[in-house]
Structure 1
Amino acid sequence: MIVLIPAYEPDQRLVDLVDGLRGAGQAVVVVDDGSGPAYAPVFQAVRDLGGTVLTHPVNRGKGAALKTGFRSTREDVVCADADGQHRVEDILRVADHVRRTGRTTLGVRRFTGPVPLRSSAGNALTRVVFAAVTGSRIQDTQTGLRGYPASELAWLLDVPGDRFEYEMRALLLATRHGHSIDQVPIATVYLEHNASSHFRPLIDSARVYAPLLRFSASSMLAGAVDAVALFAVYAATGALLPSVLAARAVSSTTNFAVNRHLVFKERTATLATSARRYWALVVTLALVNYLVLAGLTAAGLPLLPAKLATDAVLFAVSYLTQHRFVFGSPGTAPSQVAYSPARLDERVTNSS
């Protein structure tokens, strides 16, 4: 088991963390992500404590640094941050859980006490959106304390992304590929209102949310196409069933192409397999859509609000099914997410 710490322009807190981990007998690998000569004394102190330091000549991002660390070992790995937010005891707790269970493990914060608003609000929003599009409840989607069994390392190297978005993509793909995820509660620590964080709210939030936003954007596009086609055909025919079927044929074709090539880019099912599954879903949802629309309009609700209500209900069903079944590999099961109650001089120049 190693503790992997990506570090960009770290301070004494990294040295203190490595000191504590080494004192507990834990092997440590630190990746200097292009911090530059000014930070050489910090990394030398890590070496003096017995830690291994791998170096990127230039800054390449947290995801790239994690991948460099994954390539350096065949052991179980616990990833931790260099800014003092993860206590030694919490890191060791996650490491022990991975060692005992052989499962991916997240150290999840409770967000109690003095927590910066941008951190608590951002995590709450991401948690809700993540649950809506994956069906998996992750208490802390943005945690940097994550433990991985050695068997997961090759898969993690294939996850796209080199910066802060990498960790979100790893979670999204883990849920779609049926990887088991455990959650262990840890302390919520923010030092000086998280002033040492290199996370850029606008640029890096866009990177983190991009995988989630693509789900919603694709659905909105399909919904718009479906609505235009529905009203156009209904205005020409005055018949609800042909209008629903024609609109769904146009919008679903658009949605399948967008989802396959832009949303679920890391697909594992073949085109033929995903197409069969997708159209089976389309037929099922079209029938449900018609029955619900017919019932609502028969009850006196105008077509537009009936359409909006129906789409809202079917949105989650459609995306959960596509995420877990349509574009996944045959036989892939939903991920199992468990929450465990708390008890208290090597240079790397190859590209990722």
Structure 2
Amino acid sequence: MTSATAIAPAPGAADLRRPALVRTIWLLVGIVVLVVLSILSISFGVRAVSFDDIAAALTGRTDTIAEAAIVKRIPRTVLALLVGAALALSGATMQAVTRNPIADPGILGVSNGASLAVVCGIAFFGLADPYGQMAFAIAGAGIAAVFVYTVGSLGRGGATPLKLALAGAATSAAFASLISAVMLPRVDLLQTFQSWQIGGVGGAEWPRIALTAPVLAVGALICFLCSRGMNSLALGDEMAKGLGENVFRTRLISALGAVILAGAATAIAGPIGFVGLIIPHVCRMLVGTDHRWLLPFSAIAGAALLTASDIVGRVIAPSSEEIQVGIITAIIGAPFFIWIVRRQKVREL
């Protein structure tokens, strides 16, 4: 799923010489930051919880109010970690598969494709089974990915980054309109899906997390197993074939992993944008473009970003009307997207 004109970072000699120790240190730093953010996520909210309360809760010695707050925030924190990691992994994989530096589940319309499938399943087929909703979401994400890539490949030059971005933006807008058209006549669904459509982790529940986690694990495993192949794809199709890589198979399997991650994450948390765009670029600056390192670090950094965004949303509006995490990531991601596009345009001059 690429063209000769598509541009993406490729592993270079400087990357290959980059000391493994440096990458390992960054991974450890990321894990430490993730642990700190997880603790802060449990601490902040309508009712502040001290570190002493958290420690006491682990031993079963805390007051009822603090314990209730902690019990409610733990699944929320776990969901933020899972969804953030999934979206970042999906974005990094999509950028590798398409060799497009601005690929992202939200920008390419994959997230809204999953959302539309779920909404249609509930509105027209009475779909209430969580397994069914996730299956619809993954199918919708896959159909959207194929459609956007097909449209973006039309014309001279094939699937260039600009054409893919335009096709994705148009498709995403069309899907958003269809979602509104389906929900507006259904007052019973409108209130439930209004906050879900923004994207958030406030409604986290252990049964849904237990259902989603294995699916996300499968998607992540597929992407990790294809990491070496992604390095070959970054060199171009002809070079990858010369190295003995089955380009079509690697691209197809990698894309499947990315679609599973995006679809399952959207099914449980709604369409959260820009995580898959921001994180891979930042991680490349720190650990390089070798996907064997980039993918696990992207997962850690993505989990950290979404958890931090959820904390910010609660701190800015410390009440029941907190700011959804999807709004925070959009505020962060929109300027970042503009910066990437402008930098890419300068490189092509």
The two structures have a TM-score, normalised by structure 1, of 0.28
Whichever structure has more strand as a proportion of its residues is 1
Larger relative contact order (CA 8 Å, sep ≥ 6): 2
The two structures have a TM-score, normalised by structure 2, of 0.28
Whichever structure has more helix as a proportion of its residues is 2
